[in-house]
Amino acid sequence: MNQSESTQLLNELVRQDASDVKNWLKRIWSKQEEVPEDFNWLGLAEAAAFNARSGKGNASNLPDLAWAEIATSIYDDLAAKANRGTGESFINSSMLLRAGMIAELGAVSGHPVLDGNQIIQWFFHSLTMSLDEAAKNAENWKKLNIDEIRELRRIKNRLKVILVLAKSKKFIPNEELRAWIDLRERLP
């Protein structure tokens, strides 16, 4: 069985050093090089996230930040190009990886992966209802229409990312975030 050109490329990329993959991405995104039309961007993002979490390429058993940068940049790009439902999944993957890296390595203001404020801003910017509205809706969620239930679920999924930060002790949530975290278990 022959592998397609895009599958071969993906396999080659995940075996390379993160710095080589970063350089490849720069060439692709600056249109200096082309990638096969059917290239599996999600596969590369997931492989990079795995490499980041497992610390591929280092002997310290710490997560690999370079691979995390690759994964988050691809997830973010996929999210920007996708419809809302699919994009939501990509951005959640990106933010969850960021939160995991912060939990392991600590927060660094202004860093593309380790900036905890980026996650907090993403959470609050995405809200379509107040904390009071969400709490009220959570009490009677079975009586809501499907779109309202989905919105509550979307908030719960995003709170999972915030919870990773809060549990890490590397980021202390303020009173408002703590109230959202407390609401999470009551959301559908």
Residue 97 CA: distances (Å) to CA of 61, 152, 177:
17, 22, 19
**Residue 93 and residue 149 in one domain:** no
Residue 166 identity? A
pTM over 0.85: yes
**Final residue in a domain of this structure, among 84, 111, 138:** 111
pLDDT digits (tens, 9 = 90+) for 96-110: 999 999 999 999 999
Residue 179 sits in which domain range?
127-188
pLDDT of residue 53 exceeding 80, the answer is: yes
**Final residue in a domain of this structure, among 111, 137, 152:** 111
In a domain? residue 122? no
pLDDT number for residue 78: 97
Q: Using H for helix, E for strand and C for coil, what is the string for 84-137?
A: HHHHHHHHHHHHHHHHHHHHHHCCCCCCCCCCHHHHHHHHHHHCCCCHHHHHHH
pLDDT number for residue 169: 82
pLDDT digits (tens, 9 = 90+) for 67-92: 999 999 999 999 999 987 789 999 99
**Residue 106 and residue 132 in one domain:** no
Residue of 148, 92, 150 whose CA lies nearest to 122: 92
In a domain? residue 116? no
pLDDT digits (tens, 9 = 90+) for 112-137: 999 999 999 999 999 999 999 999 99
Helix (H, G, I), strand (E, B) or coil at 79: helix
In a domain? residue 161? yes
pLDDT of residue 31 exceeding 50, the answer is: yes
Confidence band, pLDDT 50/70/90 cuts, at residue 55: confident
Per the CB < 8 A criterion, the answer to whether 92 and 161 are in contact is: yes
**Final residue in a domain of this structure, among 54, 80, 111:** 111
pLDDT of residue 58 exceeding 70, the answer is: no
**Residue 107 and residue 131 in one domain:** no
How many domains in the chain?
A: 2
**Residue 145 and residue 80 in one domain:** no
pLDDT number for residue 176: 94
**Residue 184 and residue 131 in one domain:** yes
Per the CB < 8 A criterion, the answer to whether 92 and 102 are in contact is: no
Cα angle 107-170-63, degrees, rounded to a multiple of 5: 60
In a domain? residue 8? yes
Q: What are the phi and psi torsion angles at 112 (to 5°)?
A: -65, -25
pLDDT of residue 1 exceeding 50, the answer is: no
Average pLDDT, the chain: 92
